[in-house]
Structure 1
Amino acid sequence: MHKIMWNFRQALTITLLCFNVLTSAQSNDKPNIVIILADDLGVDDVSFRGANQFLTPNIDALAYSGVILKNLYTAPMCTPSRSALLTGKYPIHTGMQHYVIPNYQPWGLPLNETTIAQVFKEHGYYTSIIGKWHQGFSRKAYTPTKRGFDQHFGYLGAYVDYYNQTLDATAQNLSLGHDFRDNLAVSREHVGTYVTDLLTDAATELISKHDATEKPLFLFLSELAPHAGNDDTPLQAPPEEVEKFAYIKDVNRRTYAAMVSKLDQSVGAVIDALANKGILNNTILLFLSDNGGPTAGLHATTASNYPFRGQKNSPWEGGIRSSGVIWSPLLENLGTVWKQQIYIGDLLPTLAAAANIQLDTQQMNLDGLNLWSALKYGYDAVEREIVHNIDDIFQYVSYGKGKWKFINGTTDDGIYDGWLSVRQNDNSAELDPRAANYKESIMNTTVWQHLTAINAKAALSGSANITKLRQDAAINCMLGNVTQHTACEPLVGPCLFDIDVDPCEHNNLYESMSDGTVVQELLKRVAYFRESAHAPNNKPLDPKCDPRLYDGEWTWWEDVQDGVDDDHNADGGDSAMNLRLNGLLLTLSFGTLFVINLLKYSCRL
């Protein structure tokens, strides 16, 4: 009997040890991660870069308290940029390199790709995406909660109207369709609420209710702002917000300023929620835009990418630079400007390293680099190679290695290749009244107070250095001493730029260096990447997607047409999984009762 009890006690000890290992692995020693992604925000439309036409005090406070990512690169458009963030791969390696996914095309991020949400979920995180998806939805398998996210609240397609949550495809002989979901279920209860406020409220509610001691939080707040809405009213903001910028003469720019202001308020509210929950001191905060802003042309918003050349959907710096900021108590160099080139695809391995998640980067075939150590300690010695894009449909290449950038070909026949943005002068009447007391405007925000309360050193250095940090974050073209510039005409021949000296891409060095080793090496690398490129996934319009066929909703029409799903049974495909989970829970319940009874029996001996 004693021998039997000893065996039981030994088994119980092992069981309890395993339980302790499991629970400690799920404790909140890992940092919460919050990514706030703006949509089509102009590089110069955050005031920490130096602009004063309208201020972004909450984003600026985050910037000066944290680390400003001066040389953050993205893909030039929404879908490819998001695919790079989600997979850690260049869009050319996932077939996402050409244009975007319109709501009416039946394709998406390939299902064999592992997403950042899957990585973090597998390592104990609760994963949520609030807002825009834009990685395909013609089949339910493409949608967020099938790609590693525990929760999705938002829209599946390219954009929606800011109030009625519709996307209008009548120009394609399709109908107007509603696009907003709570996980997989259609959600119409918030129609009429300004979308930026709606997404902000959802994010802050999640933060307030989530138990980060049980599971750390991975929150991807994928904002609509300041992307344009439907063509009939592309720029939308609450009238009282627009009125704050009445000093701006251009009504479109005035409304755009209000849209960015609501985005800035959203950033502030999320940081307030993290502070109120008491988890800010164990959180990594990241703010960035998915690409440069569209100043003119399709979905134009008056966005400013000053002083860069080009805009969204172009090979130029104005299309692929993002104004990014990261903050965390884990960083050793808060209150600085980091000049290291970093690509949006680097975020997956970098954030994984920050969370002590070991990745097999070779098996995953990642293009992104783990730059966590460089970021944490503030050194910028990594020569980053970045394939900005190789698009053989638009017929252009944009590639960089270190300070060298190679361009051949362009988009839209070059009509948006110029320097499209200007900045208001300091003596202009169209300056934000708060700019006269800029530093005080930043330091009076709750964001500044929350973040500097956690890092008093950053508070001291930041308050003294706001002016210097702002100067360091600005882009200086540095070509004042060059008397002659060689123009780049990418539809005529290749172009080469020294981005360190000429980030505004004025002086084409290709002809003067074409016989040298630099150009030859760049051409070899471009040829190498072209050989390894995945064919574009794009497909033509499918008229069966028309929302009029599905009660006015944009939905996973290929599944509906195939008879494997419908809107009225959105979660039906999970029934078998639910049965398996219920069986597992029942088994665990019997196991728990056995352990409890065994403990009772052991205690009596």
Structure 2
Amino acid sequence: MYLLTLSESKPPNIVFIVADDLGWNDVGYHNPEIKTPNIDKLAREGVILNQSYVQPLCSPSRSSFMSGYYPFRTGLQHLVIISFQPVCLPLNISTLPQELKKLGYATHMIGKWHLGFCKWECTPTYRGFDSFFGYYNADEDYYNHSLSRVPFKGYFLDYRDDRQPVRDQDGVYSTHAFTKRAESVISQHDTSKPLFLYLPYQAVHEPIEVPKQYENMYPNIQSEGRRKFSGMVSALDEGIGNVTAALKQKGIYDDTIILFTADNGGWVSYYGNNYPLRGGKFTIYEGGTRGAAFIRGTGITGNRTYDELIHAVDWLPTLVSAAGGSVTGRDGQDLWKSISTGSGENRTEFIYNIDDDFPPVEGHAGIRYYFFIFFIIPMLPVLMGDYKLIEGYPGLFPDWYKPDTEMSSLDDPVEEFMAREGYKADNGYQLFNIKEDPTEHNDLSTKNPEIVAKLKARLEYYRKTFYVKPNFPILPDFAADPTKFNNTWSPGWC
């Protein structure tokens, strides 16, 4: 192991990279069939986070990153924010970039927002970012940067440079565009200030689109979809390599923390893969919530793995702590010392989700809890069980899927799955010992009713004390109609 030193005179630069819908099995350091040399190198130089948890879908995870609160406390736990919903991350919550600006940081965002845009106050440059280049929604075309949403007819632009629509990038692949902008932000950065760059790439979310040269890197993969998806991962990896090179060219690489994480598990319908973990995007099984992640850089003892728990809500207090500040009163826990040095206070509990709304498309509720026993001599805690309780429906796509699994030939695999499997909205419980059974094959609920009862009570405590009903309007707000905004998805209608 080696230690990259943190300057005492200046906070570290922070580059926070998010890969959209990247599966556990979709990075080279977990699966050598995937060509990600830049990601692998960074991961092995730093700390590979073996139990880094996110939410089962996009908006909930991003709200956790930015706020430090569980989505069931902000009303964002049900599905994702849809283009026509007058919903955003609550404006009374200070965000990660706002907290870092208090410490003197220059803050920039490039990529996918997906935390609401119905009014300007919801958008990135009003939530703490000095600049924004990217898009507000979820799943636009990688080349023409537009998307359609029923009930509105047509495809409408969703691409912004700060407040202004970007209309001269038709045909430019978004992974390349975001990397190019990141290189520009880094090269123009005033090094008298620390830099915070939030870089949530569009890749590898559907639609499955990639320049041919990246697909051609995988001639041995028979499935066209999986071959293209793998090429998307390699294009992303190339972009991360170029961002790393820009940091080195600027002379700030050695003073920078790089955090990389998926926002949820891979979407098996669109060729993402989480094997051997169970499930994927939409589920609160491990395949939907245990994200591929690592952190490396200044102040971090590298070349090791971190096997303790960390949740998406922890990144706000942890990164603020790395920057020399502190934030209290959030669900997130400051794990900087534990992650950076391997010694310090660890997380012993977190909530996968609590979503009492209907339909239960993603996981209904779940909790993770470490049980300890204390010995008098010496007075040390010993881990006796690492248990996970799932309440009710665990979510769509709940099985074990190998990389060559073909899930769907229809336009909407979620609707296909629902038609075939139904909601299965039962009220039962499943219990797993994740330390002994990380792939969740052995339900222990009938064998350990006393543990089920304890975790049910703990889950109910969170529900009664902190639960906020999902802010998820069913009917579209027609004020969002992009034809009223020059055929562009735009703020200003709520």
The TM-score, its normalising length taken from structure 1, stands at: 0.72
> Paired residue for 1:536, among 455, 464, 470?
470
1:548 corresponds in structure 2 to 483
1:256 aligns with 2:229: yes
1:38 aligns with 2:19: yes
Offset from partner CA, 1:67-116 (integer Å, 9 cap, x none)? 10010000110000000000111001111111100111111111111100
1:408 aligns with 2:388: no
1:467 corresponds in structure 2 to none
Q: For the structure 1 residues 52 and 303, does the alpha-carbon distance in structure 2 shift closer, same or farther, using more than 3 Å as the test?
A: same
Whole-angstrom CA distance in 2 between matches of 1:317 and 1:172: 34
C-alpha contact (below 8 Å) 1:307/1:422 kept by paired residues: no
Q: For the structure 1 residues 499 and 553, does the alpha-carbon distance in structure 2 shift closer, same or farther, using more than 3 Å as the test?
A: same
2:418 corresponds in structure 1 to none
Amino acid at match of 1:255: K
1:501 corresponds in structure 2 to 436
1:324 aligns with 2:293: yes
Whole-angstrom CA distance in 2 between matches of 1:57 and 1:105: 40
1:183 aligns with 2:162: yes
1:276 corresponds in structure 2 to 249
Offset from partner CA, 1:483-502 (integer Å, 9 cap, x none)? xxxxxx98362000000001
Deviation at 1:317, TM superposition (A): 0.5
Deviation at 1:551, TM superposition (A): 1.2
Offset from partner CA, 1:335-389 (integer Å, 9 cap, x none)? 0011011001101111111111132x13xxx001001111121137624211110
1:24 corresponds in structure 2 to none
C-alpha contact (below 8 Å) 1:175/1:547 kept by paired residues: no
Deviation at 1:423, TM superposition (A): 7.6
Asked which structure has the greater CA Rg, the reply is 1
Amino acid at match of 2:331: D
What aligned pairs does 1:584-599 form with structure 2 within 5 A after superposition? none
1:315 corresponds in structure 2 to 284
Deviation at 1:550, TM superposition (A): 1.6
- Work out the number of aligned pairs and report it: 448
1:80 aligns with 2:60: yes
Amino acid at match of 1:294: W
Structure 2 residue runs of 5 or longer lacking an equivalent are 1-7, 371-385, 406-423
Deviation at 1:28, TM superposition (A): 6.5
Deviation at 1:543, TM superposition (A): 1.9
C-alpha contact (below 8 Å) 1:105/1:541 kept by paired residues: yes
Whole-angstrom CA distance in 1 between matches of 2:186 and 2:23: 28
Q: For the structure 1 residues 205 and 279, does the alpha-carbon distance in structure 2 shift closer, same or farther, using more than 3 Å as the test?
A: same
> Paired residue for 2:186, among 202, 207, 228?
207
1:491 corresponds in structure 2 to 426
> Paired residue for 1:101, among 69, 78, 81?
81
Structure 1 residue runs of 5 or longer lacking an equivalent are 1-26, 229-233, 425-488, 560-605
Amino acid at match of 1:246: P
Give me the identity figure in percent.
Answer: 39
Whole-angstrom CA distance in 2 between matches of 1:329 and 1:546: 46
Deviation at 1:312, TM superposition (A): 0.4
2:365 corresponds in structure 1 to 397
Whole-angstrom CA distance in 1 between matches of 2:86 and 2:9: 40
C-alpha contact (below 8 Å) 1:342/1:384 kept by paired residues: no
Deviation at 1:422, TM superposition (A): 4.4
Whole-angstrom CA distance in 1 between matches of 2:346 and 2:213: 47
The structure with the largest helix share of the pair is 1
Give SS of 1:507's match: coil
> Paired residue for 1:241, among 214, 218, 236?
214
1:111 aligns with 2:91: yes
Give SS of 1:310's match: coil
Deviation at 1:535, TM superposition (A): 1.6
1:382 aligns with 2:360: no
C-alpha contact (below 8 Å) 1:166/1:176 kept by paired residues: yes
Amino acid at match of 1:305: N
1:226 aligns with 2:204: yes
Whole-angstrom CA distance in 2 between matches of 1:383 and 1:369: 7
The TM-score, its normalising length taken from structure 2, stands at: 0.88
